Amino acid sequence: MNRRDLLLGGALGAGLIAVGGTWMWRGRGPGVASAPRTWADRWVSLSPAITETVFALGAGRALVGRSSYCTIPPAAAALRAAGTALEPDFEELASLRPTGVLMEAAQGSQVEQVERITEAFPLPWLTLEEITRSIEDLGDLLDVAEPAQQLADTFRSALTVEPPVEGPRTLLALAADDLGHRDLWFIKRNSLHGSALHGAGLRNAVADDVDGPPRMSIEELIAVDPELIVVLSAERLDDAARQRVLHAFDHLEPLRAPKTGAVGVIDGPEALSVGPSILMVPGRLKALAADLSGDR
């Protein structure tokens, strides 16, 4: 039995239960059968990353609904919005009459509630390993196994969990109105964007894995003293906003990066995407690091 048969025969027709903080499959028992999926099926994606992935696999025509936050690609905007995995719009879902609902397997996702309407297909979407496996599973579900395998392999080659031996110690910070004045949210190395940083040949200034919320005080930032600070913004910044970001750390005199002009910004929806557009991030990081260090 191949993975597609397994997915459709039971596991993906299942809910999730939390055991010791870890999400596990809760199957509906042996002998559960599902009809073969076809392009006539009507899918709803309640995850921006999954919606983006479905389109990247050339299967966008299988979608009839999306989450309220799906913006990539622009074609997704033409689909009807049906809430989110945490707060589905059940009335909208019911009116769409979907074959199944694709959603991230995250704590708080309303899997059981969605299954009162149709099948829920929760996919793990946190680590590089989880995402590549879920991309392959999407390929099986939507009959696009070959492009899904190619995309998963591209993720594995462009992103890497192992940090480089050399490269500037880089802090990826998240844009905020009080950037540089209060606790700073940053990208931890044991995350998908941490893998993108390594894929760019850069070391994470926070060298240890972080289990809790990735935030640090101003005092901790000064102690880390990264060689390069890159601020990620999901919004496109105009010139005035970009200048505010680039100079947000100037008042922290002990920091070396503002003094050497080694503060940069990467903006746009792809900057914080955990869908296929994250594959653009390593190249942008590498080019920005070269610009800020004067290598080109």
Supply the pLDDT for residue 274: 96
Q: What is the pLDDT of residues 236-279, one digit of tens each?
A: 999 999 999 999 999 999 999 999 999 999 999 989 999 999 99
Supply the pLDDT for residue 136: 97
**21-35, 61-75, 140-154: which has the minimum mean pLDDT?**
21-35
The pair of structure tokens assigned to 33 is: 């059968």
The torsion of the CA quartet 176, 200, 126, 38, rounded to 10 degrees, works out to: 120
What's the CA gap between 159 and 184, in Å, rounded?
24
Average pLDDT over residues 138-149: 96
What's the CA gap between 136 and 152, in Å, rounded?
7
Supply the pLDDT for residue 221: 96
Residue type, 274: V
What's the CA gap between 37 and 99, in Å, rounded?
9
Confidence (pTM): 0.81
Residue 234: partners with Cβ closer than 8 Å, 6 or more residues away: 175, 267, 268, 269, 271, 272
Q: What is the pLDDT of residues 184-238, one digit of tens each?
A: 999 999 899 999 999 999 999 998 888 888 999 999 999 999 999 999 999 999 9
- Cβ pair 70, 52 in contact under 8 A: yes
What's the CA gap between 209 and 121, in Å, rounded?
30
Average per-residue pLDDT for the chain: 86
Supply the pLDDT for residue 37: 52
Q: What is the DSSP string of 217-256?
A: -HHHHHHH--SEEEEEESSPP-HHHHHHHHTTTTT-TT-H
Supply the pLDDT for residue 101: 96
The pair of structure tokens assigned to 10 is: 């039971």
Residue type, 208: D
Say what angle helices 128-141 and 192-199 make with each other, to 10 degrees: 100
Residue 20: partners with Cβ closer than 8 Å, 6 or more residues away: none
Q: What is the pLDDT of residues 4-41, one digit of tens each?
A: 444 444 333 333 333 333 223 223 222 223 445 554 58
Count CB neighbours of 241 within 10 A. 15
- Cβ pair 132, 50 in contact under 8 A: no
User: Which structural domains are found in the chain, ordered by start?
Assistant: 3-158 (3.40.50.1980), 169-293 (3.40.50.1980)
Average pLDDT over residues 95-118: 93
The pair of structure tokens assigned to 198 is: 């390594």
The pair of structure tokens assigned to 238 is: 């105009």
Closest CA to 201 of 237, 165, 174, 240: 165
Supply the pLDDT for residue 40: 58
Task: Give strand ranges (E) for the chain.
Answer: 15-19, 22-26, 43-45, 63-66, 80-81, 100-104, 119-123, 169-174, 184-185, 203-204, 215-216, 228-233, 263-267
